[in-house]
Amino acid sequence: MEIAIGAARWVVGKALGPVTDGVLEAWAASSQLGPNIRALKLELLYAQGMLTSAQGRDVRNPALAQLLLELRHLAYIADDVLDELDYFRIQDELEGTYETVDDAKEEHGLVRGLVLHARHTARAITGKLACSCAASESHVDEQEVDGKQGGFLSVAAHAVSKRLPCCSLPSVHDDASANMPANERCFLCGAWSSKAQQRKHAVHEAKLKFDRVEMSNKMTDIVEQLKPVCAKVATILGLVSLGYSNSAKPQGSDLEQRSKTTPEIIEPELYGREKQKQKVAEDIINEYCVHDLTVLPVVGPGGIGKTTFVQHIYDKVKSHFQVSVWICVSQNFNANKLAEEIVNKIPESNNEGENESDQERIEKRIRSKQFLLVLDDVWTYHEDEWKALLSPFKKGGTKGNMVIVTTRIPKVAEMVELMSCSIKLKRLQHEDSMELFQACVGIKTWKDYPSDLKDVGTNIVKRLKGFPLAVKTVGRLLRNQHSLDRWTALLKSKEWELHVNNDDIMPALKLSYNYLPFHLQQCFSCCALFPEDYRFSRQELTNFWIGLGLLGAGDQNKIIEDIGLDCLNDLVDNGFFEREGNNYDSPYVIHDLLHELATNVSSYEFLRLNSSDVRSIQIPTSIRHMSVIIDNTHVKDRMTFENHKKDLSSLGKKLKAGNLHTIMLFGEWHGSFYKILGDILRDAKSLRVIFLSGASYNVEDLLPNFSKLVHLRYLRIKDSWMCGANLLPNCITRFYHLLVLDVQYHRGELGFLREMGNLLKLRHFLVHDDNIHSNICEVGKLIFLHELRKFEVKREMKGFDLEQIGQLLELRGSLSIYNLEKVEEIKEADDAKLACINHLDRGRELTQVLSHFPKLSNLLIRRCQNVARLGVAEQRTITTPESSLSPSANKAAKTLTTIPQQQTGEAEEMETATADDGLLLLPPQIKVFKISECRELSLDSGGIQGLLSLQTLGIYDCPKLLCSSSSSYSPFPTSLQTLALWNVEGMETLPSPLPNLTWLWINSCGNLRGGEVLCDLLAQGNLIFLSVHETPNFFLGLEHSCSQVDKQEDVHRSWRLQELGTDDFARVLATPVCHLLSSSLTKLVLRWNDEVECFTKEQEKALHILNSIEGLQFWSCEKLQSLPAGLSQIPTIKALQIHSCPAITSLRNLPNSLQQLEISSCPAISSLGNLPNSLQQLWISYCPAISSLGNLPNSLQRLGISYCPAISSLGNLPNSLQQLVIYDCPSISSLDGTTIGSLPKDRLPTSLREINVRSCGNEELKRQCRKLQGTIPIVQA
């Protein structure tokens, strides 16, 4: 019930959002709307206060639960109404209209209202009409209008005529126009302007109409419904507080009701963890014995087997300790109570006093004795309590003492450990899970049962994802029930999720969920909408939560993005998310059973609909957030496609689309069903969040009421990779509440950029191309924008002045400013809140500019010719040892520490004296830094070692950068993970140390050598990507170094390089090098070599050593005549690309394991030869000599052909083909060996599910393919 109260309170608070600051009430202060808003606000405030006072009380009352659901529903309706009102308030503000002006029948009110509407109608008309002649604008004074009420119509008409000089309006007293012929009359439509002139003007999206009467009626109705519900809820809560209900229970009692664990072993066999148990036991006895006290945390989610694992360890090692104590802690971590419990389990000593504390007794009882203390099931951590509990155990005077702590919460494990020894229990391997399952269901051997039963059992175990408690839960359900029907039914129903005993898996996981604060419960449970195994980025999650409105509360001193990151970190600390890797952009995942938990706890409002469940699903009317996942199997053939269309169409009868706040669509082929989905979503007008993943349609075709989505906060569209760019409608600029617009995976043009200034609340505009940001007119209106990747000063005469940047005080991501040389006046820089400057390409001025953006994390600097040196601003303490810096760098670093971010008066004079024009001070928080075309830049005098957060560094065309650098110090910080150098000369070897480097890209860097530093990088095991071109000495000596390394036992096993690209074929394709790369390298790219004509036998032999290689590419090898011999003997190659190799004439000896073949810009290849029977994908482009495809293998699933003018027929397409793409091949007139005029459906492969001839260059072929629409699942013609 605590959750139900919290949920209702959250919705009520959300509904109150628009009326908290009084702005909406002031705008709507008319005789009709004002009282209605106030009445609704008061009723919502009453509900909020009532629910707030009830927090902390978990009441078991089914009637109250139903009333809270009703209150929640009404609060949602109130939220819609008030949010819509706020939308029209913003529209009025932008348009300068007065939609809520009082139109009471009093003479003054009537006249003034009509005058105001007439005046603003005139403005609206003149703003939209395009007149062919120019004229000066005339402004009508409001006071003048108000003072002449009797002549309001003529004044309004006069205002129109002044703004339309090409039209002549008669005065009120002049009726001569009445006698004019119709064809000589003048119209206000500007008919004399040409069509060409009309097209020059942007089309303004029509604004939505405001119905004051309807809005007033809605509010009245809501208030009348809220009153009795609030009264009844208050009555029940009042009875509870007076003690008339015995159903209340203290918060957290779920934890206290659990049975206490003991050290007694319940499970005699420890499946899958026996070796780990032996290792931990040996460490406790032999390794940890040298320490006075070791705290060993064992961490993992509920149901993973922590207690069972520690019980076995306890039993194994307790005989080595003189005192052994097991305590089940649970939620209440109180040092005094735990000490009392512990002291009762330790034998008394002889010298104890009567008034001694429990801590003092523990100290005496364990003195000179080795002890083992297990604290099982720890949920909370308070530093002072922990220190108090541990204090007597640190005074025992012996070594080898152990404290083992089990916890679900990683943060607790991190805080209690004294050294890096924590154990993170992982899920069981499938084989171990099967053994446990077999024991639980009572099957000694599978030989006595049908093979089908084992297959079903295997599938069940796979669904349990290695959680021992889940396996035991299912085992109890199936024990001694060994019928195939029973097992199959359980697999389909996932019955184990419904069982609620404390020793079942879902209650164990839900216990962790109930322990979370309400805001974290919300953030976790809404993730049920995403598919299983979805990988989230941190920005994606934060933006999604922002769109749902989950981050509005909390620390008001923090922006909502930081609140979101705090929530994500808290969920990681509590074990609900896991992070894959340690990089900044490493994704987050929710493991499967936790994903099912999210689905269960959010089922009242959230629904993730898998397309296979459409027939059986029952959708509650309370659902407000829905995702639909279309499985690929539904387009595998035509019959399945037709059947699923029928199933999907039935969804419209089950779903109340008008209640939806969220719609998310997943599946790469879901666009095949967009028409049916559009019918289902026709009434969806309350949407806040839209996420379309794999869109292959125009969004207005999917959502017919898209232009009316006045509540929209979050719009994310990821185009399907199979289709061309789709249009985004201009009405997006009318979504005044929009906070997140994510089109970074949308490839089409964005025609609404000039009107984006309407999106006053926009915080994130994610795009794939920086130039999109540079096209935003009047970007300064977007005052909440967090990232502006590119701004071009005076791109146009209006809307692109430097002053726009000065308004963006919330910028904290990337910022690139171009065309700074166009800043002509000091005032422009002043208005932009930057600096008093004349030339912005000098280091001092750029430092001033950067100081105004303290939250920037990404920085690109380009073509700043006067920047000679780099430093770090506000660097109070240089953490890099002086020994690693050059003498001049030390001096420069000490100078930089004295320069604050902003100076005035004497400090400003001091800055002028200490800083010169060539020195650029970088913000210390930068994580991504790219600098290009700064040809005078050198790192000799300081460098960027102080950028301690720097992860990505790119330096392009800065030839003097490392010319004078000494090899005795590194110019780069050790935090670097990605390093790209292009046209950077002067350094003999790579700088070191770079312990965290994972990605290295080198191009045109003179005589730079990798040397021993490269070997060290590879041996460290972090470097996974390496690309080196036009740097001829980089691999010099690598063969010798590898020969030496190879002699060291097992050293090469730490090499993790996965992708290597180079033009130095000779040095890379050497036996010692390939031997060290053999176990890790999966992709090799050989490119940009204009000398090699063929591969030597030694190189071909070395290539065969790479036994992990899966991808091989040849790019831009002008003289290469043939592929390496013996490719067919390399069994691991799955993908082969040949691009821009004009001398290769044929394809021989292709790998027998090849699955994907791409050939592009190879004019000498005239035949494909014999393609391997393993081939699944074939893509051919710009190969003019190929006239026939020959016999395509029956394994082929995808075929793409582009710019191949000689191909006129595809021949016989294999029956395995699923996708066919033809691009700009006008000679192709047959898909199936017949003429295009008689394209029979039954002659095409039955497996074919997609034809894309949209840009084939043959109109007749497209026309014929259109006839296949509806029979083949996906036809793009």
Asked, for residue 755, whether it belongs to a domain, the answer is: no
R_g of the chain computed on alpha carbons: 36
Asked, for residue 1017, whether it belongs to a domain, the answer is: yes
Instruction: State pLDDT tens for residues 1023-1067.
Output: 899 999 999 988 887 766 666 655 444 444 557 889 999 999 988
**DSSP β-bridge partners for residue 1223:** 1202
Number of domains in the chain: 7
Same domain, 374 and 504: no
Distance CA 934, CA 68 (A): 64
pLDDT, position 874: 62
Name the residue range of residue 148's domain: 107-207
Nearest Cα to Cα of residue 272 among 471, 385, 427 = 427
Same domain, 956 and 1007: no
Helix (H, G, I), strand (E, B) or coil at 743: strand
Distance CA 154, CA 136 (A): 20
Same domain, 330 and 465: no
Nearest Cα to Cα of residue 121 among 98, 89, 150 = 98
Whose structure tokens read 């504390």? Answer: 357
Say which amino acid occupies 403. Answer: V
DSSP character string of 376-410: EEE----HHHHHHHHGGGGGS--S-EEEEEEES-H
Asked, for residue 565, whether it belongs to a domain, the answer is: no
Nearest Cα to Cα of residue 687 among 655, 713, 652 = 713
| Torsion-angle region of 305 (φ positive above 0: left; ψ -120 to 50: alpha; else: beta) | left
Give me 1099's structure tokens: 């190189």
* Three-class DSSP labels, 988-1039: CECCCCCCCCCEEEEECCCCCECHHHHHHHHHHCCCCEEEEECCCCCCCCHH
pLDDT, position 963: 66
Q: From 976, 1011, 1040, give the residue that closes a domain.
A: 976
List of the chain residues with pLDDT < 50 = 104-203, 244-253, 255, 826, 829, 833-841, 875-915, 1047-1052, 1233-1240
Asked, for residue 621, whether it belongs to a domain, the answer is: no
Distance CA 1150, CA 1170 (A): 9
Asked, for residue 315, whether it belongs to a domain, the answer is: yes
Q: What are phi and psi of 72, to 5 degrees?
A: -60, -45
Residue 166 burial (C-beta neighbours within 10 Å; 0-12, 13-18, 19+): middle
Same domain, 121 and 57: no
Asked, for residue 525, whether it belongs to a domain, the answer is: no
245 membership: H or E segment, kind and range: none
**The Cα angle at residue 954 between residues 948 and 956, in degrees rounded to 5:** 140
Same domain, 388 and 492: no
- Is residue 597 within 8 A of residue 504, CB to CB? The reply is no
Q: Is the peptide bond prior to 971 cis by the omega test (within 30 degrees of 0)?
A: no
Whose structure tokens read 């949407």? Answer: 687
Give me 246's structure tokens: 């015995």
Same domain, 1028 and 1108: yes
285: which residues sit within 8 A by CB, 6+ positions away? 317, 320
Q: From 497, 515, 533, give the residue that closes a domain.
A: 515
In 950-983, which positions are buried (b, 16+ CB within 10 angstroms) versus exposed (e)?
A: bbbbbbbbbbbbbeebeeebbbbbbbbbbbbbbb
Q: How far is CA 838 from CA 388, 758, 848, 850, in A?
A: 63, 33, 13, 16
Same domain, 394 and 339: yes
pLDDT, position 104: 46
Same domain, 266 and 392: yes
Q: How far is CA 1269 from CA 179, 641, 648, 1212, 1274, in A?
A: 59, 12, 18, 21, 7
Nearest Cα to Cα of residue 1210 among 1183, 1238, 1224, 1191 = 1191
Where do the H-state alpha helices sit in 637-724? 638-649, 651-654, 674-680, 699-702
Instruction: State pLDDT tens for residues 675-706.
Output: 889 999 999 999 999 999 988 888 888 998 99
Same domain, 91 and 15: yes
Q: From 472, 499, 515, give the residue that closes a domain.
A: 515
**DSSP β-bridge partners for residue 57:** 250
- Count other Cβ atoms within 10 Å, centred on residue 1234: 13
Asked, for residue 1024, whether it belongs to a domain, the answer is: yes
Same domain, 115 and 42: no
Asked, for residue 857, whether it belongs to a domain, the answer is: yes
Distance CA 718, CA 327 (A): 52
The CATH number linked to 409 is: 3.40.50.300
DSSP structure class, residue 286: I
pTM of the model as a whole: 0.67
Give me 293's structure tokens: 């006290």
**The Cα angle at residue 937 between residues 933 and 940, in degrees rounded to 5:** 150
pLDDT, position 737: 95
Same domain, 10 and 126: no
Where do the H-state alpha helices sit in 464-529? 468-478, 484-493, 505-515, 518-525
Nearest Cα to Cα of residue 318 among 240, 392, 263 = 263
- Is residue 594 within 8 A of residue 630, CB to CB? The reply is no
- Is residue 140 within 8 A of residue 119, CB to CB? The reply is yes
Q: Give the number of residues written for the chain.
A: 1277
Same domain, 345 and 437: no
